[in-house]
Structure 1
Amino acid sequence: MRDYVARFFGGGKPSEERVSQEKEKVERIPLDHIHPNRYQPRRAFEPEPLDELARSMANFGLLQPVIVRPLTPAPSDEYELVAGERRLRAAKMLGWTDIPAIVRKMGDIEAASLALIENLQRESLNPLEEAEAYSELMRLYDLTQEALAQRLGKGQSTIANKLRLLQLPDFVKQGLAERKITERHARALLPLKDDARLAAFYVDMLKGGWTVKETEKRVQRLLEPKAKKLRFGKAIPRDLRLAVNTIRQSVHMVEESGLIVDMEENDEEDYYVFTIRLPKRPQQKRS
C-alpha cells in the first residue's frame, strides 16, 4: 500500500517526511496499546457488518493484519492505528487481548493517505465522509479537483458534487449521515442559502417524505419571484371583487387545514387568471 500511495500521489506536493524502508514483519500488539486513527474518515460503523466481521474472525482468524505506526517519542510501545479500524473493533468485540499488526514508521501525510484511500477503495463511506476524505486528500497533496479525479479514476463532476455537500449546514449534514435523507436530496437543498429558510423547508421535506424530484421542484418554486397579487381599481364591479376575495379565502382555508397550496394570480387582457396547484399526494405543512 505504501508504494501505491507514492505512485498515486506522486504528482502532488512532495512530502518532506521520509518513511523507513525497513522490511516489514507482523507482530502481535496488545489492543490497549493501539490508539485510534486521528485521520479516520469514517464516523459511523454499522453494527451488522461489524458483527459479521467478528463472526468471520472468530471462525477463521484475522486474515489481514492491521497497520499501525509507532507513537513518538521513541522508544515507545504505544501505536496509532493507520488501517484496519473495523478489524480492531471486531477484535475488541471478541475479547481479544492482542492483534496481528504490521508496524510502519511513517509521517502524518502518509498515515492520513493510507486511512483515507483504504476507506475510499472499500466504498464503505457515507457521502459526507467521502466528501471529507476528498477534501483532506486535496489539502494534504495540494491537488485540484481535476487532479484528484484523475488519480481516483473518477469524473471531476463526481468529486465536485461530493465536495458541495460540505457547504450544507450542520443539521442537513447530520440528516445525511443518519440516512434521513439521500445524497440527491441534500444536493437539491444547496440553492437555499438562508439557513432559517432552509431549516423550515428541511422540516417540511422530512415530514412530507418528498421525493428528490418533488424537492427540486419545491426549491425552484421557492426561489422564483412571487407573483404579485392583483390590484383592482375603483372601476372593478363589486361582484368581481367578491369573487376574487372568495377564491383567496378558500385557498387560505385549505392552507389552514395543513396542506401546501401554490396559487398564482395574473391579469390578462380579457380575464383574471388564478392558477392553483395541489400535489397529487398532499403533503402536510410544518406545524
Structure 2
Amino acid sequence: ERKKISLELFQSRWLRGDISLGKCEMLIADIKTKAEIKEDLAILTNGRRDTGGKLTVRVRVCYPLTQKHIQQEQEEIIVVTKHFPIQDYPDPAEAVPTPTKKSTPVATSTVPTPLPTASTVSAANTPQKTPAPKETTVAAPTPNDDDDDLNPVESMMSNDVLEWALEIVLKEINACKAQKKQVPEELITKQQQIELKLQLLILQIQTGKLSEEQYIQNVSDKIAEEKALARKYMSQKNQEGARFALTRAKIMAKELEG
C-alpha cells in the first residue's frame, strides 16, 4: 500500500544530461475518503534544503477507495409565503386641480430703430486684417545608433546562448528592483522572447522536428557568422558589438565540445 508520492523536477538540456532541480513528497492517505486532494509542496534539494519554490499537485479519482466522499454545505434560504403587490394610487398632487389664471393682455410699445449712417456702414464693411500664422520649424529626428540591439534574440539559435542571454536580462531586472526603480518594458519584452524561444527549441527537439545532426550544423554555421560579424564590428570600431559576437561564438563552440 502506497502512502506517499515522490516527485522530482528536472531541467532538460540539449546535448547534455538533465539537471535535477529538487524533489518533493505528497501523502496520499486522504485519497481513501476523498475524490480529490490538492496540496502545495515545497521543493527540496538533498531531501532537506528548501529551494524556495513550490509545486502544486492535484490528485483525482472517480471514487474514493474506502468510502463515499460526502461534503457538507450550509446555505441560508429565505422563503416568502405571502406577497402583497403594491397598488397604483394616484399622486395627491395630481389629484388636486390647480387653479388657472386668466391671462391679461400686456401693452407693447414699438420704438423705431434708426438707420445706420454712412460712417457706421463703412466701418462695418471694412474687412479686418487677420494676423498671419507663425511658421514653426520642427527639427528632423536624427537617427540614433545607440538603439541598435547588439545582442539580438532573433539571431540566437543555440540553447546555451539563449540561457546566457536570459541570465544577463534577469540580472538587469534584479538590479532595477534592488534600486527600487521601474523595470523598463524593453527588458520584460526581451525576457519573454528568450523564454519563448527556449521553449520552442525544446519542443522541436522533443517532437523530432529538429534532429541532433541538424542542430549541430546550425550551431556550426552560426559560429562562423558570429566571427564574421565580430570582424565587421572591429572595422567599424564598435568594440562592444565585437565583444558580444565573440562571446556568443565562444559559448557555442564550448557547447559543441560538450
Normalization by structure 1: what TM-score? 0.20
Normalization by structure 2: what TM-score? 0.22
Higher RCO, 1 or 2 (CA under 8 Å, sep at least 6)? 1
* Larger Rg computed on CA atoms: 2
